[in-house]
């Protein structure tokens, strides 16, 4: 997904919602023509997330090539409390910090950030408490891929499916590195390639033939 300079993607998510899935009044802002649905973050169960650490992992690529995109891409976290009556709010930073960064691999760099849900109390009647995560670049446009959020002490794997064939196209491991899966015209597995620090490497190749 491409974002031009001074544009960002923002998730606004109600921490106290019992259902972590999107509902009609979820707010997405900062993108004029690209909307990234990131609201399936399970921050429900209210105050139990107080003081908990989470990891944000992304792959970024600048429109202008660079050796390090961590100085170009900014990730910001904020917890905003909305009080009743409307118009009264308080903001507390989630203190997002860069945790790890890979080398640039085929033009892309993996950036891992850690943030802490600040201490807060339950919202007042008819009020809500939102976690906002923003990813932006003030000076250069950038591409964003493989965004995910998870608790600090956890592991996560993800599957990506081809929207037309519904075949498994890629698997992302617990470090957010992808294994790409290729098929022939008959839908048979022929090759697996994996992202590594040395670039994308072929790790498995299958050839089949019928003797005559």
The tens digit of pLDDT for each residue in 13-62 reads 566 554 444 444 444 444 433 434 444 444 444 445 667 888 889 998 88
- Structural domain including 190 reads 155-212
Flag whether pLDDT at 95 surpasses 70.
yes
Pairwise pLDDT comparison (17 vs 105), residue with the higher score: 105
Q: Is the pLDDT reported for residue 11 higher than 60?
A: yes
Same-domain check for residues 136 and 165? no
Question: Are 103 and 168 in a shared domain?
Answer: no
**Amino acid 153: pLDDT:** 87
88 vs 99, more confident: 99
CA distance 133 to 22: 16
What are residue 209's phi and psi, to 5 degrees?
Answer: -150, 160
Annotate 74-106 with b (16+ C-beta within 10 A) or e (fewer): ebbbbbebbbeeeeeeeeeebebeeeeebebbe
Cα of first residue to Cα of last residue in the chain, in angstroms, is: 48
Which residue has better confidence, 77 or 204? 204
Question: What is the rounded CA–CA span in Å between residue 28 and residue 39?
Answer: 9
In 3D space, the residue among 197, 51, 33 whose CA is nearest the CA of residue 120 turns out to be 51
> Greater confidence, 84 or 199?
199
DSSP 8-state secondary structure symbol assigned to residue 49: G
* For residues 173-195, average pLDDT: 92
Q: How much is the pTM?
A: 0.76
Mean of pLDDT over the chain: 75
Residues 87 and 100 in one domain: yes
Distance of CA 43 to the CA centre of its chain: 15
Strands 88-93 and 142-151, how do they pair? unpaired
- Percent residues over pLDDT 90 in the chain: 26
Q: Please tell me the total count of domains within the chain.
A: 2
Of 114 and 198, the structure prediction assigns the larger pLDDT to 114
Which of 154, 182, 198 is at the close of a domain? 154
* Confidence (pLDDT) at 53: 86
Report the pLDDT value the prediction gives residue 13, as an integer from 0 to 100: 59
Q: Among the three residues 104, 130, 154, which one is the final residue of a domain in this structure?
A: 154
Task: Let me know whether 47 and 117 are in one domain.
Answer: yes
Examine the fold and report which residue of 120, 137, 154 is the final residue of a domain before the chain moves on: 154
Percent of the chain with pLDDT over 70: 63
């Amino acid at each position: 997904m491409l974002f031009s300079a001074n544009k960002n993607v923002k998730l606004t998510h109600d921490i106290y919602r019992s259902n972590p899935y999107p509902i009609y009044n979820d707010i997405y802002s900062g993108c004029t023509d690209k909307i990234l649905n990131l609201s399936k973050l399970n921050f429900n169960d209210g105050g139990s997330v107080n003081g908990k650490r989470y990891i944000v992992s992304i792959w970024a690529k600048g429109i202008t090539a660079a050796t390090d995109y961590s100085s170009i891409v900014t990730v910001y976290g904020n917890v905003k409390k909305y009080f009743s009556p409307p118009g009264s709010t308080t903001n507390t930073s989630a203190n997002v910090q860069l945790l790890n960064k890979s080398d640039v691999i085929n033009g892309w760099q993996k950036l891992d950030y850690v943030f802490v849900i600040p201490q807060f109390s339950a919202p007042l009647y008819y009020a809500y408490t939102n976690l906002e995560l923003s990813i932006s670049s003030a000076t250069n446009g950038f591409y964003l891929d493989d965004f995910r959020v998870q608790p600090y002490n956890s592991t996560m794997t993800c599957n990506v499916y081809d929207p037309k064939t519904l075949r498994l196209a890629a698997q992302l491991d617990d470090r957010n590195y992808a294994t790409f899966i290729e098929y022939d015209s008959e839908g048979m597995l022929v090759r697996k390639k994996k992202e590594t620090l040395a670039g994308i490497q072929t790790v498995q190749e299958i050839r089949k033939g019928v003797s005559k």
